[in-house]
Structure 1
Amino acid sequence: GVVYNEMKGAFSSPEGVLDRLVLSSLFPDTTYSNESGGDPENIPDLTYEQFLDFHRNHYHPSNSYIYLYGDMDMEERLNWMDAEYLSHFDKIEVDTAIPYQKAFTQMAEVESTYSITSAESEEDNTYLAYNKVIGDALDPELCLAFQILDYALLSAPGAPLKKALLDAGIGKDIMGSYENDILQPNLSIIAKNANAEQKDAFIEVIEGTLQKIVEEGMDQKALEAGINYHEFRYREADFGNFPKGLMYGLQIFDSWLYDDEKPFIHVDALETFETLKAKVGTGYYEELIRTWLLDNTHGSIVVVRPEKGLTAKTEKALEEKLAAYKNTLTEEGIAELVRQTKELTRYQETEDTQESMEKIPVLQREDISHEIAPVQNEERKIGETLMMFHEVETNGIGYVSLLFDMRGIPEELLPYTGLLQAVLGIIDTEHYAYGELFNEINVHTGGIGTSLEVYPDVEKVHEKAFRTTFEIKAKALYDKLPFAFEMMQEILMRSRLDDEKRLKEILMQTRSRLQMRLQSSGHVSAAVRAMSYTSPVSRFKDMTSGIEYYELVCRLTDHFEEEKSGLIRKLQGLAAALFCPQRMLISYTAAREGLTGMDEVIAKFKEGLHEGSPAGNMVCLACEKKNEGFRTASKVQYVATAGNFIDAGKEYTGALQILKVILSYEYLWQNIRVKGGAYGCMSSFNRIGDGYLVSYRDPHLMNTLKVYQGVAEYLRSFQVEERDMTKYIIGTISNIDQPMTPSAKGDRSMALYLNHVSEDMIRKEREEILSAGQEDIRALADIVEAVVEQHKICVIGSEEKLTQEKEVFGQLKELN
């Protein structure tokens, strides 16, 4: 049931429909033509015995891949693994080899549909995809070369294929997808928000552009930028919060699955980078384009058109199928189904025995360190500008963030700061076309990006004080930092914000990407929107990146000719007001030697900024309880409820971090996922009192809200074994003590400074977690009740479901 509802959600997404059709059209005779998660139409046909047979055969050591990573006695570990695990099994033969798909003699063509709501337009809503199979995964040079070609031809702003399709009016958003983690990698060129009748023109523009590139030669700067872009990331190995050992392990499967003798060919890439650098300007890349994209007939054209009410049709067909099945049952047959359902419910509610649980080894509380991760904040002044230096070993890379304080910007302009952030860096400047700018940056640095950030003041939670910043970030080797500052100044001070054609393209692309995010991560949007009814911090997030921002982008794209003059004035005015030394803070993460020359570089940079005024006070953002339902063509819901417990007179405690773990793996897990069939469920309770509960790909709505109402009562009677309590604490600490890259250490230190979170506060929270008992969890019931009883809800989901249960909403809207 859980997977059934997960896949109903996945099959509701047009991008999901497209991805499946691309694979099945290219590999009709191999396992890649099937959906690994299961087609919702077929999942109910799976029998328990089939399920067990599959598990017995495939989830067996004979079919396993085992790797060890880290500083350990390998021989001792291998001996232990043999004695304690592998020797307990007999070897069996499991044939999981994936055959090669025989190449096509001509390209395949496939057409299908996806569902839209009755209020959505069918015009400009089709997906077109041009797909080619590129060699195989055991050719590391070809795989890396096509990652670089994907960047140079398609993915980088201003890339020739993207620009040619946009200039031809084919699609509003052009995307590239190079999949190199399957046996036969494939490249897809995708036009979103196109029309089906543009299919032939789509093919002609792609092939004509590629032919011209082959004849005239690749842009060498674009190739150099693509190589440096990928090499910088390869050397940096920044996997965010994920452990490097895990990520390297996943990477080796890109070849190991297909050849037991070649696990490291993609991990060990330095020589390949050098080979590919030497081939720039030799005709090598042009020949790859000719061979694999122009002359290669192993490909497909996929068209996915919108169809109004398709979700309702499939649901009605399912109802009729079930009704017909029920009519074939005798009274005894129906009684047997009822008995099976009751047995399933009993099974779901049966807890694991203590004997079973104790088979899993668990750390003890005393094994967990009481030390907090160090905070590296060293205040330095460059003239009147504060630079916070975070001393971390970075392997010769400097990470710079310029933070421009947005306090004092009028409320009506705040959503436009989201647009300014979206535009800068991908629009022409005085000295560069936007594609040239992007390539110039990537040839010499590890990249430059912009973001909006919000920092709640934990010392003023009752006043709901917070600071917002417009941030531009760069990373580069120390000797390239002066160039990075020059490029940041080019972006901030010399962007042509009056380029109407490019502004419209960016707005269309932004709308497209927001649509995809609302469909794939609707739980995030629903939670932020629900919290915006009570939290100014969340209201700001919603205004600048959430549903309110999406509504602004839709209005601007729908009425661009009427809105463009005002939009340009607002963007130019915001840039002039924000980008001045008086509003700027600097965060810099590097080793001590990375400070050399930085004062002079920053002083020169400041001279080129606007003259302006210091930041004022943050505007007071009004919050209004709306209880909205947003109707989509999805078959599932994202159900959020939110509130603020400090408003209700409660206080924050570190035990709330444990509560997130308990709810995620116990109460919400059991009631929303196991019994309710939703794919996921999450919660959060933070230092400023904001709290929420939200479900993910959920077949229910009202039932889920009732489950939320029961959290407080569950906590009041909370009682578990001490072993379980320790597990929850370990889970909480594992969320806190995640691996941090050098840049993440600097970002964390700066955020703590701006949030006014002291090391003493962090220590206090950690001690509250490590010393928590069951009585501390029971004491949280009033806090959760204070959040849930505020009845502030937001749901994104099925048009039919939300209309059926409309009485729960203050407003029902379309999200299209």
Structure 2
Amino acid sequence: MITFEQVRSHQIPTLQATVEEYVEPSSGARHIHLATSQADLAFLVGFPTVPDSNDGRAHILEHLALCGSQRYPVRDPFFSMLRRSTATFMNAMTYADRTVYPFASTDRNDFFNLLDVYLDATFFPRLDYLNFLQEGWRHTLEDGKLGYQGVVFNEMKGAFTDPIRALYNGIGAALLKGTTYEVISGGDPLAIPGLSHQMLKDFHASHYHPSQAVFMTAGAIPAADIQRQIAERVLARLPGAAPRRVPQLAQAGTPRETTIRVPSQTARPDEFGLQLAWLLGESADATVYYHANLLQAGLLGDASAPLKKAMESAGYGRPSRLNGMDSSPRQMLFHLGMDGLTEEQVASARARILAALERAAEDGVPHSALRAALRDIQYGQRDTSSGRMPNVMNRMLQALPVAMRGGDVVGALDTGAVLLRLERDIADPGFFKGLVRALLDTPARLDATIVPDAAYFTARAAIEEERLAAAQAALGDDERARIEADSAALAALQGLASDTSVLPRIKPGDVGPAPRVLPDIPAPRDGKYIFPIASNGISYARVQFDVSALPAADWPWLQLYSDLRRDLGVNGYGYEEAGAWRQRMVAAFKLSLEASVKADDTLELALHFFVTGLREEHGNMAEVLAAFIGGPRFDEHERIAFLIERMVKNRLNGLANSGNVYAALAATAPLSPLRRFEDAAGGVAALPFLGELQRLARTPEGIARIAARLAGVHAQIVACEATVLCAGTGDDARELAALIAPPRADVAARSDDPSLPRGREPGSDPGRPANLALHAASQVNHCSIAWPVPGQKHPQAPALAVAAELLTHQLLHQALREKGGAYGGSASYAGSAGLFTMGSYRDPRLAATYADFHAAIDRLLETEFSDEQVEEAIICVIKGLDRPASPFDSVLNAWTLKVRGIDTALRQRFRDGVLGCTQAGVKAAVRQWLKQGTPSRAAFAGNTTQDLDGMQVVDLLALSKES
């Protein structure tokens, strides 16, 4: 009998959990279980994947493993389970040195269903040749011309649009030479066609074995129950053991220099950069990890920190987005760099950074900065917040590389012991100085000059075309016949209906009939709403001003205010002092501008001042709110100019990488007040404002006018009606609320300056559909199409929500991803905005994708779906409604629903409508609102020589008026 032996058990009171470590002796497989009472039941299995080439084998294998297995010979069990499960999270991720397959669910039966599918997928995948052609790469012949196609191939073309990715890849190739980190684990599209199907199968055989695996689980399930299934499904069928694969260690060597070229839309003279990177000890070593954490906090934690100050006060350039500790590789890296430089400024920037390090090694940093860093570690241990993945899953993913690299996984999950040790360490004034000196003395250092390359994409495209031309010239009849046969076989496979009957599923009758319980909204006390929640000793306060009455022309100014205020001075403090003070006082503080549609279909716009911290910091939290609301400073003109320049340049450098966002907002802005605001604040409509703002900020007179306008915006904000939300454990929320003064400030109103840039409407008039091709240089497209539809209160809203899931899983996935090669394709119903959208992501096509959008509507109306397919779509909607949220996120969800006028009765009616949805109801809603409706379209087009399907070209760089 195969059994796991317990190695250790350790309680973590701050997590309200117990870590249990197990090993199966015969294989060496490890199981780490986090026993908790949380709703989420989580699982992951991780494998060390250490490729030695750029052909993307680890990444393509991740895709293929989820394309059918021995017990589940379904063409696409992963995507099938997305619609047959109530999972709160399902994914698979390839990192530089590991591949991870995680999922989470709140239902025990669903958890074990998914466990069965994941175990078979990872250890016993079919790795079918035709799936390799679909997911990896293949040759195509269109009108006799040879080309490439494949999901990963196109995904990585899109990934290469990010300049930071190019920078990071270049650092790995130079500093970590001779290790797996030298190569691009996701795959370089120029190298992916060198991978064969057999090479992929060999890689699976050598890397995916129980002896290599680390299993991690969490939740209120006994570890033995999970281990029995692992033993039966995997260990009994794959005996034996092999030495665990670990990534290679880079040689320390001597300081190195290199040049790294990164993609740029314009390659302006001031787009050069400098990047220094140091190779430290192993990241699984807690001492190495937390010493790097302290270095990051002390050197870069706020505007007064030595390195941050040196880079921001240079009078040229700005800090790189790649700054600080990097624990992704086996050996910790530490990055310091600047961008926005001229070629002549690179040497000066290098000298400035190294001089600032020398001063830090001599003078150290204030003890309060290091104390704040330890406070942040303690805060992170208690934090229950959740983002796109459950909180417990995030903790597991952070601990996994420690476990895989032979580190102390308990120490990775429980920071109690390390905090005590660090408390003693930082008491010594020489401790931090020693950390900086050790960094300076580390010989394994890379000095990289960053060069902007406007021809980055065209050069890569030329190499690809040259290789295809050479291959076509050498193409014989047999090879041509093979390509045509492969294409025909793949098309036939993609056209087959997938038999999912062997897969387990959750049915509508298996889910609860009532909506998820949300906190009640209490009666306010002096404009304050108090929420007692189970927050694990963390408290939250949000002061929100209703700025809905401000005109649309002010929306970009409100967004600018929200973006800049945190980094400016307050109450007599300059921005450096204010940053250090805020960092010392609270764990987190931010401003945000958010919009929602109210019950009367008008727009509510709120400016939020948000602060959170440990319950011991209530007084600090109240002080920070009072300072930022009541004591702003707008006289730091150089600082404002610097922040504007940094913000605008980052936005312009990221045009291609954010193309999907620009396209989605441009398509929906004419149809929805909510999206019109979002477009004006951060989409295509904001680009002219940013361009004018940047030029204005380059003169003393212009920046003075901007500062005065920001002061006027502040006066407008604090004159608006304010509400306070406080949440915390037990009586903490009430005690915190008592410390927060009424959110008013005695600020004289200031007149507007009509000559300053104003917000503009999107490219199309409100109500008039868009038809735009947004262009910036890239090798992929992002396509979006939208229809105005009724909101969540309408009787047909449930049918529209179910229709989106049917379109996504039964039609668009096959047309856009499997056949079209896009990385993603989906439909969505947004009841809060009154929109129905379809979109594609990292798409090699454009016109053909829009044809597929319209064809999908016709096919939905013509197809007689099975009851099972409709039920799967219903489950997809329900699991979105039932997704667990952290206690404070639940408060915010309840508040948003209150603003929208969605009460419990309406939530119940919508849920009943979804659970009772029929195929006829879906088709009636689609026919009325989509087939008979007029859509609005906007695509991000990577090049304008392709068929743009009659769309009007908008050059995003020209729109910004950036010279």
1:790 match: 934
SS of match in other structure, 2:606: strand
1:766 match: 911
Once structures 1 and 2 are overlaid, which stretch shifts more, 261-270 or 493-502? 261-270
Pick one of 80, 90, 97 that aligns with 2:229: 80
CA distance in 2, matches of 1:625, 1:731: 29
SS of match in other structure, 1:460: coil
State whether residues 170 and 191 of structure 1, in contact with CA within 8 Å, keep that contact through their aligned partners in structure 2.
Answer: no
Measured against aligned partners, the alpha-carbon deviations of 1:385-411 in whole angstroms (never above 9, x if no partner) come to: 3x3333322223321111101122122
Once the 2 structures are TM-superposed, how far is the Cα of residue 33 of structure 1 from its aligned partner?
0.6
1:257 match: 404
Q: Which amino acid aligns with 1:725?
A: V
Once the 2 structures are TM-superposed, how far is the Cα of residue 12 of structure 1 from its aligned partner?
2.4
Once the 2 structures are TM-superposed, how far is the Cα of residue 519 of structure 1 from its aligned partner?
3.5
Pick one of 375, 393, 406 that aligns with 2:518: 375
2:571 match: 430
RMSD of aligned alpha carbons: 2.6
Contiguous gaps of at least 5 residues in structure 1: 614-618
1:115 match: 263
CA distance in 2, matches of 1:76, 1:313: 55
CA distance in 2, matches of 1:769, 1:287: 62
State whether residues 154 and 822 of structure 2, in contact with CA within 8 Å, keep that contact through their aligned partners in structure 1.
Answer: yes
Once the 2 structures are TM-superposed, how far is the Cα of residue 719 of structure 1 from its aligned partner?
3.4
Measured against aligned partners, the alpha-carbon deviations of 1:550-595 in whole angstroms (never above 9, x if no partner) come to: 4322321233226323322221111111113x51022222345134
Once the 2 structures are TM-superposed, how far is the Cα of residue 626 of structure 1 from its aligned partner?
4.3
Q: Which amino acid aligns with 1:287?
A: G
Measured against aligned partners, the alpha-carbon deviations of 1:306-336 in whole angstroms (never above 9, x if no partner) come to: 2233322322332232122112223443233
Structure 1 pair 784/267, CA: closer, same or farther in 2 (3 Å)?
A: farther
Q: TM-score, normalised by structure 1?
A: 0.91
Q: Which amino acid aligns with 1:584?
A: A
SS of match in other structure, 2:723: strand
Once the 2 structures are TM-superposed, how far is the Cα of residue 600 of structure 1 from its aligned partner?
4.1
2:802 match: 658
1:736 match: 881
Contiguous gaps of at least 5 residues in structure 2: 1-149, 751-758
Pick one of 609, 625, 628 that aligns with 1:491: 628
Structure 1 pair 184/607, CA: closer, same or farther in 2 (3 Å)?
A: same
Measured against aligned partners, the alpha-carbon deviations of 1:450-489 in whole angstroms (never above 9, x if no partner) come to: 10111102x334xxx1110111111134453333122112
Once the 2 structures are TM-superposed, how far is the Cα of residue 345 of structure 1 from its aligned partner?
1.5
SS of match in other structure, 1:124: coil
Does 2:436 match 1:289? yes
Measured against aligned partners, the alpha-carbon deviations of 1:152-194 in whole angstroms (never above 9, x if no partner) come to: 2125334321221232244234331421132101011132222
Once the 2 structures are TM-superposed, how far is the Cα of residue 136 of structure 1 from its aligned partner?
0.8
Does 2:466 match 1:320? yes
CA distance in 1, matches of 2:748, 2:530: 25
CA distance in 1, matches of 2:898, 2:329: 44
Q: Which amino acid aligns with 2:950?
A: V
1:553 match: 690
2:374 match: 227
Structure 1 pair 313/68, CA: closer, same or farther in 2 (3 Å)?
A: closer
Structure 1 pair 440/68, CA: closer, same or farther in 2 (3 Å)?
A: same
Percent identity at matched positions? 21
Once the 2 structures are TM-superposed, how far is the Cα of residue 9 of structure 1 from its aligned partner?
1.3
Once structures 1 and 2 are overlaid, which stretch shifts more, 159-168 or 772-781? 772-781
Measured against aligned partners, the alpha-carbon deviations of 1:352-391 in whole angstroms (never above 9, x if no partner) come to: 3x3xx233221232221122222323343444x3x33333
Q: Which amino acid aligns with 2:174?
A: S
State whether residues 631 and 796 of structure 1, in contact with CA within 8 Å, keep that contact through their aligned partners in structure 2.
Answer: yes
Once structures 1 and 2 are overlaid, which stretch shifts more, 364-373 or 131-140? 364-373
SS of match in other structure, 1:407: coil
Does 2:607 match 1:460? no
Q: Which amino acid aligns with 2:787?
A: G
SS of match in other structure, 1:802: coil
Q: How does 1:709-728 map to 2 (within 5 A)?
A: 709-728=854-873
Q: Which amino acid aligns with 2:562?
A: Q
Pick one of 646, 651, 674 that aligns with 1:509: 646
Pick one of 196, 202, 226 that aligns with 1:53: 202
State whether residues 726 and 734 of structure 2, in contact with CA within 8 Å, keep that contact through their aligned partners in structure 1.
Answer: no
Q: How does 1:6-45 map to 2 (within 5 A)?
A: 6-45=155-194
1:205 match: 352
Q: How does 1:302-701 map to 2 (within 5 A)?
A: 302-352=448-498, 354=499, 357-383=500-526, 385=527, 387-457=528-598, 459-461=599-601, 465-515=602-652, 518-560=655-697, 561=699, 563-580=702-719, 582-597=720-735, 600-602=738-740, 604-606=741-743, 608-610=745-747, 623=766, 625-646=769-790, 652-687=796-831, 688-701=833-846
2:329 match: 182
SS of match in other structure, 1:532: helix
CA distance in 2, matches of 1:437, 1:545: 27
Once structures 1 and 2 are overlaid, which stretch shifts more, 560-569 or 395-404? 560-569
Higher helix fraction (1 or 2): 1
CA distance in 2, matches of 1:715, 1:607: 55
State whether residues 486 and 605 of structure 1, in contact with CA within 8 Å, keep that contact through their aligned partners in structure 2.
Answer: no
Once the 2 structures are TM-superposed, how far is the Cα of residue 29 of structure 1 from its aligned partner?
0.6
Once the 2 structures are TM-superposed, how far is the Cα of residue 51 of structure 1 from its aligned partner?
1.3
CA distance in 1, matches of 2:267, 2:328: 36
Q: Which amino acid aligns with 2:152?
A: V
Q: Which amino acid aligns with 2:571?
A: E
Measured against aligned partners, the alpha-carbon deviations of 1:103-154 in whole angstroms (never above 9, x if no partner) come to: 012x22121323334xx24211123211011211232022122123213212
CA distance in 1, matches of 2:425, 2:324: 24
CA distance in 2, matches of 1:92, 1:40: 35
Measured against aligned partners, the alpha-carbon deviations of 1:607-666 in whole angstroms (never above 9, x if no partner) come to: 6454889xxxxx99762544332222211111111231249x986412333333333333
Structure 1 pair 669/266, CA: closer, same or farther in 2 (3 Å)?
A: same
Where relative contact order (Cα < 8 A, 6+ residues apart) is larger, the structure is 1
1:245 match: 392
Structure 1 pair 814/400, CA: closer, same or farther in 2 (3 Å)?
A: same
2:34 match: none
Once structures 1 and 2 are overlaid, which stretch shifts more, 33-42 or 396-405? 396-405
Q: Which amino acid aligns with 1:223?
A: L
State whether residues 455 and 468 of structure 1, in contact with CA within 8 Å, keep that contact through their aligned partners in structure 2.
Answer: yes
Once the 2 structures are TM-superposed, how far is the Cα of residue 808 of structure 1 from its aligned partner?
2.2
CA distance in 2, matches of 1:336, 1:606: 72
Structure 1 pair 241/740, CA: closer, same or farther in 2 (3 Å)?
A: farther
Pick one of 223, 237, 249 that aligns with 1:100: 249
CA distance in 2, matches of 1:807, 1:253: 47
State whether residues 441 and 484 of structure 1, in contact with CA within 8 Å, keep that contact through their aligned partners in structure 2.
Answer: no
Structure 1 pair 214/104, CA: closer, same or farther in 2 (3 Å)?
A: same
State whether residues 664 and 784 of structure 2, in contact with CA within 8 Å, keep that contact through their aligned partners in structure 1.
Answer: yes
Q: Which amino acid aligns with 1:641?
A: I
CA distance in 2, matches of 1:599, 1:95: 54
State whether residues 241 and 740 of structure 1, in contact with CA within 8 Å, keep that contact through their aligned partners in structure 2.
Answer: no
Structure 1 pair 210/137, CA: closer, same or farther in 2 (3 Å)?
A: same
